[in-house]
Amino acid sequence: MSDLEAARIESEAQRLFKKLGVMTDFKTGGKYSLEHCRSIAPLTLKINDLKREKDAVILAHYYCTPDIVYGVADFKGDSYALAKKAAQTGQKNIIFCGVYFMAQTAKIVNPDKNVFLPPVTAGCSLADGIDAEEAAKLKAGYPQAALVCYINSTAEVKAFCDVCVTSSNVYDIVSALPNKQIVFVPDLFMAENIRAELKRRGIEKEVLSFGSTCCVHDKYTVRDIEEIKSAHPNAKIISHPECPRSVCEMSDYCGSTAGMLSYVKGSDAEEFAVFSEDGIVNSLELENPSKTFYPVSRTCAQMKRNTLNNVLGVLENLDKAPRVEVSRDIALKAKISIDNMFKMAGK
Ligand code: 13P
Ligand code: SF4
């Protein structure tokens, strides 16, 4: 290796360490080391070079590992921000570091672009919670209702829905719908949180729900909160609305990934217990160096299937790598529910 190349790798390692060095490595429990950053620097450099060469953009959900989110992603975000960003990118090739329904959404809003999901089959227990046949039955069975789908659903399910929502806009969109009856799929816990929020707002609607739960957030319990409160009585509890209602009820703040980030930033508190995926803890650590976080550690194994190696694999074989495809008919119908979300979310 030439001196020049060695210096370039060292400078990339230092860039990575500035960010990753403050973050918890959930595999070891310690912080990411400079040695670790040195070991991944050749890969992140190669990916960032190839990205420019091949007219590619990398979008990454906060739940991916920090080497992806802070090493190679051009844009990071929660589900809503990434869906919006996917609709605005100029590059021909979109590499989506997330799970399948997210990459499908990027394809639906960009039918003429190539969309790649590096782990190809990375799934989600929520999106698996309802299929198109069940969605069709709900649509036919509740003709007066608005069929509202959480973005964590397949394109085939979205095709039957009136409007799609994410955790960052669900309450406002459901509140604004004219229908008195809402059929919400597929997050059963989110549905409970919607009912509670509508009650709090004094809005009368019947919310029926079908589907499943997030296999990461559904494991949190009231006991977890009690334990963390007894160990860290001053910690604010923050949670995601995919958690059980009992957990959200006891939280100081319950909201979307972006919502948690802004709550912590704006809070005077110094300690926080985080009832959400490990990836968000890493971003909180980076953005709030003076605050302390107590992760109640839960990992989305599917999100963690995005690796520097499989991102590089896609970039090196753009012509042959499997692309995310959605049939034209399904994409056109699903896009209506996504566009309705963009219109109703208004930002
Ligand atoms: P948000 O990104 O909308 O907060 O949702 C979290 C999640 O579980 C994504 O799969
Ligand atoms: Fe799906 Fe839950 Fe993983 Fe998000 S965290 S991708 S909702 S399984």
Nearest to 129, CA basis, from 77, 174, 81, 184 = 184
For a pocket test of ligand 1, which of 64, 75, 240, 261 has the largest count of ligand atoms closer than 8 A to its C-beta?
240
Tell the residue nearest (CA) to atom 3 of ligand 2: 300
Tell me if 125 CB under 6 Å of ligand 1: no
State the DSSP string of 243-264: S-HHHHHT-SEE--HHHHHHHH
Amino acid in the structure at residue 80: Y
pLDDT at 3: 87
Given the structure tokens 């495809």, which residue do they identify?
A: 325
Q: Strand, helix or coil at 154?
A: coil
Which atom of ligand 2 lies nearest, measured to the CA of 215? 8
Task: For residues 203-227, give the mean pLDDT.
Answer: 97
| Residues forming beta bridges with residue 184, ordered by sequence position | 148, 209
Could you tell me if the CB of 65 is within 6 A of ligand 1?
Answer: no
CB–CB of 118/306 below 8 Å? yes
Put simply, whether the predicted model's pTM sits higher than 0.85 gets the answer yes
Helices and strands: H and E segment counts in the chain: 15, 12
- Residue to mutate (ligand 2; options 65, 78, 97, 152; most atoms within 8 A of CB): 152
38 contacts 67 by C-beta, under 8 angstroms? no
Question: Any idea which ligand is nearest the CA of 257?
Answer: 1
Q: Do residues 190 and 151 touch, judged by C-beta distance below 8 A?
A: no
Give the three-state DSSP class for 227.
helix
Give the model's pLDDT for residue 188: 98
Pairing of strands 206-209, 56-61: unpaired
Percentage of residues in the chain having pLDDT higher than 90: 95
Task: Supply 225's token pair.
Answer: 């909160």
CB of 243 shorter than 6 A to ligand 2: no
Ligand 1: centre distance to CA 11 (Å): 33
* CB-CB contact of 221 with 244 (8 Å): yes
Q: Is 214 in the pocket of ligand 2 (CB under 6 A)?
A: yes
Closest Cα to residue 18, out of 37, 44, 35?
37
Mean pLDDT for the stretch of residues 219-224: 96
Q: Give dist(CA 135, CA 330) in Å, integer.
A: 13
Among protein residues, the one with the nearest Cα to ligand 2's atom 7 is 214
**Is residue 218 in contact with ligand 1, taking CB distance under 6 Å?**
no
60-77 pLDDT tens trace: 999 999 999 999 999 999
From the CB of 126, is ligand 2 less than 6 Å away? yes
The C-alpha torsion from 96 through 100 and 105 to 109, rounded to 10°, is: 50
Which region among 36-45, 84-93, 195-204, 281-290 has the lowest average model confidence (pLDDT)?
84-93
| 302 CA closest ligand 2 atom index | 3
Which residues is 279 bridged to in the sheet?
none
**Looking at residues 196-219, what average pLDDT do you find?**
97
Predicted local distance difference test score (pLDDT) of residue 347:
62
Mean pLDDT of the chain: 96
Question: Which atom belonging to ligand 1 lies closest to the Cα atom of 168?
Answer: 3
Q: Is the CB of 212 under 6 A from ligand 2?
A: no
Q: Tokens 């100029």 sit at which residue?
A: 90
Query: Rounded to the nearest 10 degrees, how much is the dihedral formed by the CA atoms of 134, 137, 141, 142?
Result: 60
Closest CA to 55 of 95, 84, 99: 95
Identify whether the C-beta of residue 338 lies closer than 8 Å to the C-beta of residue 108: yes
Q: Is 239 in the pocket of ligand 1 (CB under 6 A)?
A: no
With beta carbons less than 8 A apart as the criterion, state whether 134 and 113 touch. Answer: no
Does pLDDT of 159 surpass 70?
A: yes
Partners of 57 in beta bridges: 94
Please work out whether the CB of residue 110 comes within 6 Å of at least one atom of ligand 1.
Answer: no
Distance from Cα 72 to the centre of ligand 2, integer Å: 22
User: Taking residues 159-183, what's their average pLDDT?
Assistant: 97
120 Cβ inside 6 Å of ligand 2: no
